[in-house]
Amino acid sequence: MELKYTGKTKNVYALEDGNYLLQFKDDVTGVDGVFDPGANTVGLTLEGAGRAGLRLTKFFFEILKEKGIPTHYVDANIEEATMTVKPAEVFGQGLEVICRYRAVGSFLRRYGLYAEEGQPLDAFVEVTLKDDDRQDPPISEDALHMLGIISKDEYQELKSLTQQIGNVVKEELAKKGIELYDIKFEFGRVGEEKQIVLIDEISGGNMRAYKDGEYIEPLELEKMFL
C-alpha cells in the first residue's frame, strides 16, 4: 500500500485495486488537550477514538447509502480501524462545508455582534478553505467561483447535499434525544463523470451535539449512539 497523505486524524493509502484506504488514528483535533472540531491541530490522543469514530462513520454512511445519497464509502473494518473508499478529487486544495443548526463555535466568534449564543439557524451552510496557514478562512460562493475552485452548478449541488446529509444526521441524533448544533463535511468529485459525493468521515469529531443543553464529547457521543 502506498501512503498518499498523513492527516491529523487519519492516514490515506492507495490500494492496488484503485480504491483508497483510510486508517483512523486515535488523534483528535483540539487545542491543549481540549477537543474542538474546528481546530487545525491535534489537541489530544484518546485510546479507542479511531475505532469509535469509524463506527459512527460506518453507521451514517450506510444510512446515506440506503437513502441514495452519494458518498465515497465502499466498506469498513472496525477491528483494523480502516475504511475503503472511492478516490475523490477535492475542490482546490480542499474545502470544509459546515451546516449549522444553532449559533456556536466560529459562527458566534465572528458574528457575535448580531447573533446570540445558541440561537437557532436553519441548516445554514458555510464553506471554509482547508488552509492551516491561514486558519481555514471562510469563503463566499462568488469567491469560490472567481478563484476557479468550484463552478456555480457544483456549488448548488454541494449546498443541497450538505443540507440533506446534515438533516439525516440531525434526525438520527434526535432519535436518541440528542440535538445537533453543527457539523462539518468534506466533498469531492468521483469518477469520470466527476459526481459530487460526500467523502472523509462523519464522526463525533466533526460535529457538536448536545443532550439536555449539555455538550457531549465525541467519544461519549459515539458510546451513546452505538
Ligand X SMILES: Nc1ncnc2c1ncn2[C@@H]1O[C@H](COP(=O)(O)OP(=O)(O)O)[C@@H](O)[C@H]1O
Report 116-175 residues binding ligand X (CB under 6 A): none
Instruction: Decide if residue 7 touches ligand X (CB under 6 A).
Output: yes
Span of 2-10, 47-55, 153-161, 214-222 interacting with ligand X by CB under 6 A: 2-10
Give least dist CB 211 to ligand X, A: 26
**How far is it, in rounded angstroms, from Cα 106 to Cα 110?**
6
Position among 28, 85, 98, 104 found at the interface with ligand X (CB under 6 A): 85
**How far is it, in rounded angstroms, from Cα 29 to Cα 64?**
25
Q: Shortest Cβ contact with ligand X: which residue?
A: 7
- Which CB sits closer to ligand X, 41 or 156? 41
Give least dist CB 34 to ligand X, A: 18
Position among 5, 48, 156, 226 found at the interface with ligand X (CB under 6 A): 5
Give least dist CB 206 to ligand X, A: 9
**How far is it, in rounded angstroms, from Cα 188 to Cα 130?**
13
Instruction: Decide if residue 20 touches ligand X (CB under 6 A).
Output: yes
> Residue 37: how many CA atoms within 13 Å on its side-chain side?
27
Q: Which residues contact 13 (CB under 8 A, 6 or more apart)?
A: 1, 2, 3, 4, 20, 21, 23
Give least dist CB 203 to ligand X, A: 10
- Which CB sits closer to ligand X, 28 or 103? 28
- Which CB sits closer to ligand X, 42 or 63? 42
Position among 72, 170, 184, 208 found at the interface with ligand X (CB under 6 A): 72
Span of 86-94, 101-109, 140-148, 210-218 interacting with ligand X by CB under 6 A: 86-94
- Which CB sits closer to ligand X, 4 or 110? 4
Instruction: Decide if residue 9 touches ligand X (CB under 6 A).
Output: yes
Instruction: Decide if residue 90 touches ligand X (CB under 6 A).
Output: yes
Binding site for ligand X (CB under 6 A): 5, 7-10, 12, 20, 72, 85-88, 90, 94, 186, 188, 199-200
